[in-house]
Amino acid sequence: GAVVSQHPSWVICKSGTSVKIECRSLDFQATTMFWYRQFPKQSLMLMATSNEGSKATYEQGVEKDKFLINHASLTLSTLTVTSAHPEDSSFYICRVLVAPGLAGYEQYFGPGTRLTVT
C-alpha cells in the first residue's frame, strides 16, 4: 500500500486565494520531506527541503513568502500556496526521506496534487 499520501489529490481555486497541500508519511517517521513542482511536459523541479521543527530551505528562485512550508511533525509537512495565480497551476509532489536503516536511506514520492488556479 501507499506509504506517502497527499491531500488533496486535486484542487481548483480562484486567483488570489490560498491553498494548503498536505504530505503525510504513513506508518513511519520522515526525517526530511522535499517539495517538487512539475509543469506540463517538464521535469520535476525542487522547490524546498523541509526538516521537522526547523525552517524550510528554499531553492533559488522560489519565493518563500509565497510558498509557505510547515513541517510540524515527523509525519506531516504542508505547503501553502499563498495568493495563488494562474501561473502557479502545476503538479505538486512531495518526496519523503526515511532515516537510514540497514539499507541506508529510503525515499518515497507522494501521489501528487494537481493545482489549477482560475
Helix (H) or strand (E) holding 72: strand 67-73
Q: By CB under 8 A, is residue 95 in contact with another protein?
A: yes
Output Rg (C-alpha) for the chain, integer angstroms.
14
- Single residue of 1, 14, 43, 61 touching another protein by CB under 8 A: 43
Calpha distance 28→99 (Å, rounded) = 9
Measured CA distances, 112 to 11, 16, 45, 74, 90 (Å): 11, 22, 13, 19, 10
Contact letters for another protein, residues 50-89 (x by CB under 8 A): -------x--------------------------------
Judged by CB under 8 A, the residue of 19, 21, 24, 32 near another protein is 32
Total binding residues toward another protein, as defined by CB under 8 A: 20
Cell match 513541517: residue? 71
CB of residue 64 to another protein, shortest distance in Å: 16
In DSSP terms, 102 is beta-bridged to none
Interface with another protein by CB under 8 A: which residues? Answer: 32, 34, 42-46, 49, 57, 91, 93, 95, 97, 105, 107, 109-112, 114
